[in-house]
Amino acid sequence: MTRVAVFGTGSWGTAFSMVLADAGTDVVMWGRRQELTDAITRTHENPDNMPGIPLPDSITATHSHEEALAGAEVVVFTVPSQTFRGNLEGWAQSLPSDAVLVSLMKGIELGTTKRMSQVIGEVTGAPPERIAVVSGPNLAREIAQRQPAATVVGCADEAVAEKLQQVCATAYFRPYTNTDVVGVELGGAVKNVIALAVGIAKGMGMGDNSQASIVTRGLAEITRLGVRMGADPLTFAGLAGMGDLVLTTTGSLSRNRSLGMALAQGERFADYRASHRSVAEGANTSLAGAALGRRLGVELPITEKVCEVLFQDKPPRDAVAELMTRELKAEQWR
């Protein structure tokens, strides 16, 4: 039986642990708070992040990262992206030398503009064939309820991607493989920024035409950036691109969309952040994504305006007006 360590006891880490267990793996979760990891092991439920949903008996949890990593063949990371590097530096010495390292995180690191797989490589020294990403239209609670869903397992080594595919395939969770790690990862990160923009439009009372236009032009932004970084443009037409984008921009459970709606209704981001335990990943990703676009010479107008609304208190109506009065262009870029 494959042993998998899952770092993170949030809703997505819990749901993915259930998938792994249902697929026949032995799962140990690592969590920062010992009282929570003790409760998970004792009650087979995550009372904080997935209350009311029983966990398979093969899932245990621990506060000790050494204990979690002992004998692990696969290590899955699902912690906040902006604190990931510092956390990983503390875990790195205990990582098994041959374990496959998997990122479930959907963010871009502030300052470095690195993707999470790049952070893993830098901190651990692991080669690309030992680093993988999982991304797709995957709302944690629906997966924990065992509703049918699909996802993408990305790894430069196709054989490793296929191995991970088997490790997380169940009757309700269908993984596909892709060797385009850049595209899979970038689609999962930047779609959160576009969901913020859609939330702003909805919060301003705009209708379906406006929201569909943002989704479509948002996909164009993601694709432009991805292609500039070496990604396959077809990746953005798949589950990790359009699939995840549609979910995050339309789903009622999307935290990024909800944040956008709050901003449109007059709430300042600083106040929103102060009143919420966890803030949508798209906020910091807008900063990192805008910086990445400027560094690579890629136009990201929606991302730039979202960033200005969030961090410069630009009124949403001004941001919309500026987007709509930009220089007219052909739809396809050259």
Residues 23 and 167 in one domain: yes
CATH of the domain at 27: 3.40.50.720
Residues β-bridged to residue 176: 152
Determine the Cα–Cα distance for residues 304 and 302; give it in Å rounded to an integer. 5
Task: Give domain status of residue 331, yes or no.
Answer: no
Smallest CA-to-CA distance from 318 within 281, 264, 282, 277 is with 264
Q: What tens digit of pLDDT does each residue of 122-177 get?
A: 999 999 999 999 999 999 999 999 999 999 999 999 999 999 999 999 999 999 99
Q: Which residues pair with 132 in a beta bridge?
A: 102, 155
Task: Count up the domains in the chain and report the number.
Answer: 2
Give 275's pLDDT tier (boundaries 50, 70, 90). Answer: confident
Average pLDDT, the chain: 95
Q: Of 77-81, 86-90, 277-281, give the lowest mean pLDDT range.
A: 277-281
Contact at 8 Å (CB) between 148 and 124?
no
The answer as to whether 333 is a domain residue is: no
Is residue 70's pLDDT more than 90?
yes
Do 31 and 125 lie in one domain? The reply is: yes
Confidence of residue 1 (pLDDT cuts 50, 70, 90): confident
Residue 36's pLDDT is 96
If asked whether residues 134 and 160 sit together in one domain, one would say: yes
Query: d(Cα 306, Cα 309) in Å, to the nearest integer?
Result: 5
Catalytic residue among 114, 163, 191, 202: 191
% of the chain beyond a pLDDT of 90:
93
Q: Is 314 a catalytic residue?
A: no
> Does residue 170 sit in the same domain as residue 201?
no
Q: What is the mean pLDDT of residues 312-317?
A: 95
Domain end marker among 126, 156, 179: 179
Q: In the predicted model, is pLDDT for residue 333 greater than 80?
A: no
| Three-state SS at 27 | strand
Average pLDDT over residues 110-119: 97
218 lies in the same domain as 162: no
**What's the CATH number where 202 sits?**
1.10.1040.10
Residues, the chain: 334
Give me the amino acid identity at 280: A
**Do both 34 and 144 map to the same domain?**
yes
How far, in Å, are 134, 226, 289, 325 from residue 115 at the CA level? Answer: 13, 12, 10, 32
* More confident of the two residues 278 and 290: 290
Residue 197 resides in a domain? yes
Residue 79, pLDDT score:
95
List, for residues 200-257, the tens digit of each pLDDT value: 999 999 999 999 999 999 999 999 999 999 999 999 999 999 999 999 999 887 889 9
Report whether pLDDT(321) > 80.
Answer: yes
Q: What is the pTM of this model?
A: 0.95
3-state secondary structure of 7: strand
pLDDT at res. 334: 65
From 138, 159, 179, give the residue that closes a domain. 179
Burial of 147 (0-12, 13-18, 19+ CB in 10 A): exposed
Residues 254 and 221 in one domain: yes
What confidence score (pLDDT) does residue 126 get?
98
* Beta-bridge partner residues of 317: none
Residue 254: predicted pLDDT: 87
Whether 100 and 8 map to the same domain: the answer is yes
In angstroms, the CA 320 to CA 305 distance is: 8
- With a CB cutoff of 8 Å and minimum separation 6, the contacts of 105 are 77, 78, 79, 80, 81, 84, 116
Q: What is d(CA 128, CA 259) in angstroms, rounded to the nearest whole number? A: 35
The mean pLDDT value for 263-284 works out to 86
Instruction: Examine residue 40 and state whether it is found in any structural domain, yes or no.
Output: yes
What is the Cα–Cα distance from 290 to 279, expressed in whole angstroms? Answer: 19
Residue 48 predicted with pLDDT over 80: yes
* Best CA proximity match to 196, nearest among 182, 208, 214: 214
At 95 the three-state DSSP class reads coil
Domain of 198?
182-324
Q: Which of 112, 145, 179 is the last residue of a domain?
A: 179
Structure tokens at 23: 């697929």
Q: What pLDDT shows up at residue 140?
A: 94
